[in-house]
Amino acid sequence: MIQQTLARVGIRRPSQFRPGMGTFMMAIVILVLGFYLITPVVILLTMSFNVATDILVPPWQWGFSNWTGAWDHPLLLPSLWNSFTIWFFVVVISLPSAIAISWILARTTIKWSYSIEYLFWVAFMFPSLSSTIGWMMILDPDVGFANTLLEYLPFVDKGPFNIFSVTGIVWARLMGDGVAYKVMLLTPAFRNMDRTLEEAGRVSGASDLRTMWRVTLPMMSSPIVLVFALQLLRVFQGFETEQLIGTPWGFYVYSTLIYRLVSLEGAPQYAQAMVLGSLTFLIILLIIPLQRWIISRRQYTTVTGSFKPGLIDLGRWHNLTFGGLLALLFVLTILPFVIVIVGSFMARAGFLETTPLWTLVHWQFVFGDNLFMRALQTTTILAIVAGIGSPLLFSVVAYLIVRTKLRGRGTLDGIIWVSAGIPGILSGLGLLIMFLWVPGLSWLYGTIWALILVLIISGNTTGTNIFKGVFVQLGNDMEEAARVAGAGWARTYFTVVLPVLMPTMVLIGVLNFVSAAGATSNIILLASRRTITLSLLTLEYAAPEIGRREAAGIVTLVIMAMTLGVAMVGRHFALRMGVRHNIQAHGDPVGRVRGARRVAATRGRAPSTTGEG
C-alpha cells in the first residue's frame, strides 16, 4: 500500500544498499586490507618463535628462547617505563590544552578562528624532524642559541637548558605535533556540535563554563577518547625525536630499543625485536573495547537536519585568549622555523664566534647532491598518491563499519585496530619479509610501488576512526530524506554525506600527505637508494657519524614548503563546503543565500533568503 501510494504521487521507492552488494563489498575490503595489514603481523608473531641463528633463511627451528631472552634484556623494562613516562607527561599537558583550544576555535567568537586553526595545521605540517632539529639548535647544552645568548650575561656561567633530557624529549614532542595534532582532530568535531544543546543548558541557569563542562564535553567524549587512544598508539610509534635526543645519552624508549635491536651491525636481533613488538597488542586489547563502549553507551549525534550553528561570546576574556593563542603559535612554528633558517646559513649552528660566521655552503651541498633531487621526486609522488587515495579508502571503510548492518563489521574494525599495534619499523620488516616470501609480490621489493602501498595503508587507524567519529555525529535523517526522494546509495553518499564530510576529507588528505612526506620508520627497510625520500635523507644527514645538522634542517624546510602549499589549497575548498557557524542574517547577500541553500539542502526544503542557520 505504501509503495502504491508513493508511485501515485510520483515518488520512487527509496533505493537501498542491497545486502548482496554490501556483503560482497565487505568481503573484498576485509580480504584486501586483512592481507596487507594482518599478514605482516602474523609473519612477525610466527617468526618470533624461530630460534634459528638466521631467522630469515631456512632451515628454521622453533622454541620459546626468543621470548625468555627478550625479558632478560637489560633495557627492556627501563625502555617500557621510559615510554610510559614520556606518554604520561605528553598526554597530561597536551590533551587538556588541545580540548580548550579546540573549544575556543570552534565554539566562540574568537577573532580569526579559521586562520588560527590553519596555523595549527602549519605547526603540524612543520616536520617533527625539523622541529626537533630546531629545538636542538636552541636548547643544546653546549652550543644552543638560548644557552649561548644567556652566557653573555655577567651573572650566568652556563646556560640552564638541556634538550638531552626527559624534559627535553617531552618538550620536543609537544612542540612537534603533541598539541597541534590533537587540535586538528578535535576542532572539526567541536564545530559540528549543534548550539541547541548548549542553549538548553543555559536556559536551565548554567553558566558558559558549567555548560561546557556538563554538556559540551560529555557530547564530545567520543572524539576526545578517540584522540586519547590514537595518542597512546602514536607514542609507541614515535621514533625520530627519541632517536635524535634520547639515544646520545643512553635513554631508550620502546621504539628506539626495537630499532637498536634490528640495526645492530653484524648481529641484528630480529627475533627479540619481534617479541618486543608483539607486546603492543596488549594495549590494543584495552583500547578496542574502551572505544566501542564509549561510542555505544549514549547518543552522540550533533549534526542533523535541524542543525543550528552559533558561537559563544568570550566577553572580557577575548583579548587575553587571543594573545595566548598567538604566543603558543609563535613557539610552535615561528621560533623553530627561524632558528632552522638562521642555522642553515651559519658555518656551524650555535657557534657565534667562528670566522666566517655566515655561509651558503650548506645550501650548495644540499642542492648539489644528486640524492636530494631523487628524494624530492620520490617524496612528491608518494605524498600526492597518499593524500588522494587515503581519504577515499578510509571514508568507505568507516561508512561500512558505522552506517551499515553488514556482517563482518566487527572483523573489519578489529583489523584496523590490530594493524596499529605494531611499531612502524617492525611493520616495515613484516612487509619486507612478505614481499620476499609471498609468490607474485617479490617484484615490489625496492620499488616505489611498495612505498605507495605502505604509505596509503599506514594511516588507516587514524583516518578510519576520525571518519567513524564524524559518522557517529552525523544523523541518519539527511540520508533517509535523500533516499525517500529516490536517490540511490551512491548518489546519497556523494551529494549529501560527502559535502558534510569534506572538511574531514581534506583533514585526512593533508594528514596523510604530511605523513607520507615525513615518513621514516615504516619505509626505512623498504626503500633503496633509488627510492630514497626526503625524510630518510634528513635522517642520513642528521646522523652523528655524518653530523650535517644544518643540511638536514634545509631538507625539512623543503618538506614543509610542499605540505604548506597543499594545505592552503585544500582548506580553501574545504571551508567553502563544510558546516559554517558564522552565517549571519545581514551582510553579503551572496554568502547569505549560499549558506541558506546549504542548510536548506540538508533539511530537504526550499532555501529562504533570510540567511537563518
Contacts of 364 (CB under 8 A, 6+ apart): none
CA distance to 337, 347, 349, per residue, from 360 (Å): 18, 8, 13
- Distance in angstroms (rounded) separating the CA atoms of residues 71 and 108: 51
Distance CA 564, CA 121 (A): 9
What value does the mean pLDDT take over residues 15-39? Answer: 72
Q: What is the DSSP letter of 212?
A: I
611: left (phi over 0), alpha (psi -120 to 50) or beta: left
Residue 207 confidence (pLDDT) above 90: no
Are 272 and 73 spatial neighbours (Cβ–Cβ below 8 Å)? yes
Distance CA 261, CA 268 (A): 6
Contact between 602 and 305 under an 8 Å Cβ cutoff? The reply is: yes
Q: Are 275 and 48 in contact (CB under 8 A)?
A: yes
Predicted local confidence at residue 608, as pLDDT:
40
Instruction: Give per-residue pLDDT as tens, 142-176.
Output: 888 888 888 888 888 888 899 999 999 999 988 88
Candidate from 63-67, 132-136, 212-216, 347-351 with smallest mean pLDDT: 212-216
SS3 label, residue 111: coil
Query: Across 69-78, 215-224, 337-346, which has the greatest mean pLDDT?
Result: 337-346
Percent of the chain at pLDDT exceeding 70: 74
pTM over 0.85: no
pLDDT digits (tens, 9 = 90+) for 238-254: 788 888 888 888 898 87
Question: What is the pLDDT confidence band of residue 458, given thresholds at 50, 70 and 90?
Answer: confident
Instruction: Report the distance separating Cα 134 and Cα 336, nearest Å.
Output: 5
The 10 Å CB-count burial string (b at 16+, else e) for 599-608 is bebbbeeebe
Position 21 scores a pLDDT of: 63
pLDDT band at residue 373, thresholds of 50, 70 and 90? Answer: very high
User: What digits encode the pLDDT tens for the residues 83-93?
Assistant: 889 888 988 99
pLDDT of residue 513: 84
For 609, residues 6+ apart whose C-beta sits below 8 A from its C-beta are: 589, 592, 593, 596
CB atoms within 10 A of CB 138: 22
Q: What pLDDT band is residue 562 in, cutting at 50, 70 and 90?
A: confident
User: What integer pLDDT is reported at residue 270 of this predicted model?
Assistant: 75
CA distances from 147 to 244, 595, 602 (A): 19, 53, 57
CA torsion angle 334 513 498 26 (round to 10) = -140
As given in the structure block, the three cell numbers for residue 149 are 645568548
Tell me the torsion sign for CA atoms 368, 373, 375, 380: positive
- DSSP secondary structure string, 134-192? HHHHHH-TTT-HHHHHHTTSTT-SS----SSSHHHHHHHHIIIIITHHHHHHHHHHHHT
- The whole-angstrom distance between residue 391's C-alpha and the CA centroid of its chain comes to 12
Contact (Cβ atoms closer than 8 angstroms) between residue 401 and residue 412:
yes
User: What type of residue sits at position 86?
Assistant: I
* pLDDT tens digits for range 467-499: 887 777 676 776 677 667 776 666 777 777 777
Structurally, at CATH architecture level, domain 29-56+76-582 sits in Orthogonal Bundle (1.10)
Write phi, then psi, for 50 (nearest 5 degrees): -85, 115
Report whether pLDDT(543) > 90: no
Residues of the chain with CATH 1.10.3720.10: 29-56+76-582
Helix or strand (DSSP H, E) at 348:
none
Residue with cell 553507551: 297
How high is the mean pLDDT of the chain? 76
| pLDDT tens readout for residues 393-452 | 888 888 888 877 778 888 888 788 777 766 777 777 778 778 877 777 778 877 888 888
Higher pLDDT, 569 or 580: 569
Percent of the chain with pLDDT over 90: 7
The whole-angstrom separation of Cα 38 and Cα 36 is 6
Dihedral Cα 238, 240, 242, 248, nearest 10 deg: 160
Question: What do you get for the CA distance between the two ends of the chain, in Å?
Answer: 37
136 contacts 163 by C-beta, under 8 angstroms: yes
Q: What is the dihedral of CA 348, 238, 278, 441, to 10 degrees?
A: -80
Instruction: Name the amino acid, one letter, at 176.
Output: G
pLDDT tens string 595-606: 444 444 444 443
DSSP secondary-structure letter at 14? P
Q: Are 425 and 259 in contact (CB under 8 A)?
A: yes
Dihedral sign of CA atoms 115, 116, 120, 122 in order: positive
Length of the chain: 613
Which one is predicted more confidently, 291 or 113?
113
Distances (CA, A) of 451 to 121, 370, 380, 502, 521: 25, 20, 12, 27, 12
